[in-house]
Amino acid sequence: MRVGVLTGGGDCPGLNAVIRAVTKSLIHHGQCEVLGIADGFEGLMGAAPRTRALGWEQVSGILHVGGTLLGTSNSANPLKDAATLEQVGRNVRALGLDVVVAIGGDGTMSQAYGLAQVGLACVGVPKTIDNDIALCERSFGFDTAVATVTDALRRIESTAYSHHRVMIVETMGRHAGWLALESGIAGAADVILLPEIDYDLRAVIERCREREQRQRYTIICIGEGAKERGGALTVRERIAHSPDPVRLGGVGHVLREQLQPHLASEVRATVLGHVQRGGDPTPFDRVLATRFGHHAARLVTEGQFGRMATLQGGQIGSVPIAEVANTQRKVPLDHELIAIARDIGVCLG
Ligand SMILES: Nc1ncnc2c1ncn2[C@@H]1O[C@H](COP(=O)(O)OP(=O)(O)O)[C@@H](O)[C@H]1O
Ligand SMILES: O=P(O)(O)OC[C@H]1O[C@](O)(COP(=O)(O)O)[C@@H](O)[C@@H]1O
Ligand SMILES: [Mg+2]
């Protein structure tokens, strides 16, 4: 078989580990030919497809390296119009691809599903630091991002207590609060604000005031998609040509302005930004990415197209991409970590 491999959406640590595992498994075990596609689905949209052969040598020595050697795009839209769809179809036929392994998140799976409707066979691998892919309890990249945010919270704490300040740390995660919740708990945040729970400003003020009297510093971890009850999302920018044009960011600064007039201590905000997507994957993510890549190769060789590798109950398996497309996995309000956070006195706004 001839198999295309692409990485779509925001990059994240562990992409190269998947590319390596899927390529090696396909070559070694499946006797397939593997073609890397540049910059996600964008590499299939132009008049000439942008690809390169992937062999043992090309994927050696990349297990631990962050980012993606294939490049990626989080604004390309292969479903844009009939002409683009036809071009993608022509390129796939010209390359002789039997199937494309699409490594990406909710957006990429929605695109893979749309392309399946026009005859492009795909196998999916779940990636994202947001951990927001339906029917998958952990995407690779998330563990590394949690480690990065947790480290940042530790650093923020030492300056917070020295200056007796309220320090706000804003995480990524789009409309899901997994990254803020797990990092906030791992980094001992006093207040954790999630997109799933609109915050009551008075509750946050009250917690900061209590701590002003005792510990004299407060750490707030807020997800970029969080908002005040009755308030609006904080949008950093809009990418006009993207199917999902809104980029969030800046709610940490909004919260700082809301809090400062009500508190005696100074309030500072840090927006962590893309540092959360960079760097070498943790050992956990290297192993998870390898498991996903290996399983995706198996789905290919068994002809199980239209499925995404996944992790459920700690076991690797697969689910139909159709069930993952156009949906997001948010933190359920009855999640164990929310109950635990409440019970150990974390303010959830
Ligand atoms: N529901 C959707 N249908 C089709 N395309 C989508 C959808 N949501 C997002 N996209 C697009 O899919 C691509 C990848 O999505 P993005 O959210 O950036 O990454 P990820 O695949 O990690 O979720 C982007 O070009 C995005 O605009
Ligand atoms: O790199 P950009 O375009 O600023 O996008 C930022 C967004 O991408 C992410 O880092 C990852 O999201 P995806 O996995 O959906 O690509 C989000 O947490 C963040 O909101
Ligand atoms: Mg996404």
Sign, CA dihedral 85-91-93-97, equals negative
The answer, yes or no, to whether residue 260 has pLDDT greater than 80, is yes
C-beta of 7 in contact with ligand 1 (< 6 A): no
Q: What is the pLDDT of residue 72?
A: 98
Q: Which of 11, 39, 130, 143 is catalytic?
A: 130
Q: How confident is the model at residue 125 (pLDDT cuts 50, 70, 90)?
A: very high
Ligand 3 geometric centre to CA of 262 (Å): 36
Q: How far, in Å, CA of 119 to CA of 150, rounded?
A: 43
Average pLDDT over residues 75-96: 95
Residue pLDDT, tens place only, 174-230 = 999 999 999 999 999 999 999 999 999 999 999 999 999 999 999 999 999 999 999
Q: How far, in Å, CA of 294 to CA of 279, rounded?
A: 23
Q: Whose CA is nearest to atom 13 of ligand 2?
A: 10
The answer, yes or no, to whether residue 30 has pLDDT greater than 80, is no
C-beta of 108 in contact with ligand 2 (< 6 A): no
Q: How far, in Å, CA of 204 to CA of 202, rounded?
A: 5
Q: What is the pLDDT of residue 117?
A: 79
Q: How far, in Å, CA of 19 to CA of 40, rounded?
A: 13
Domains of the chain, CATH where assigned: 2-140+281-323 (3.40.50.450), 146-277 (3.40.50.460)
β-strands 99-104, 2-7: how paired?
parallel
Q: Whose CA is nearest to atom 20 of ligand 2?
A: 174
Q: Length of the chain, please?
A: 349
Q: How confident is the model at residue 21 (pLDDT cuts 50, 70, 90)?
A: very high
Binding residues for ATP are 10, 105-108
The ipTM (two decimal places) reads 0.96
The answer, yes or no, to whether residue 247 has pLDDT greater than 80, is yes
Q: How far, in Å, CA of 344 to CA of 339, rounded?
A: 9
Distances (CA, A) of 84 to 87, 276, 320: 5, 33, 25
Q: What is the pLDDT of residue 118?
A: 80
Q: Whose CA is nearest to atom 25 of ligand 1?
A: 75
pTM above 0.80, yes or no: yes
Average pLDDT over residues 228-238: 97
Q: What is the pLDDT of residue 229?
A: 98
**φ, ψ of residue 122 in degrees (nearest 5):** -130, 150
Binding residues for substrate are 128-130, 165, 172-174, 224, 268, 274-277
3-state helix, strand and coil shares in percent for the chain, rounded to the nearest 5: 40, 20, 40
Q: Is 130 labeled as catalytic in the residue annotation?
A: yes
Q: What is the DSSP letter of 137?
A: S
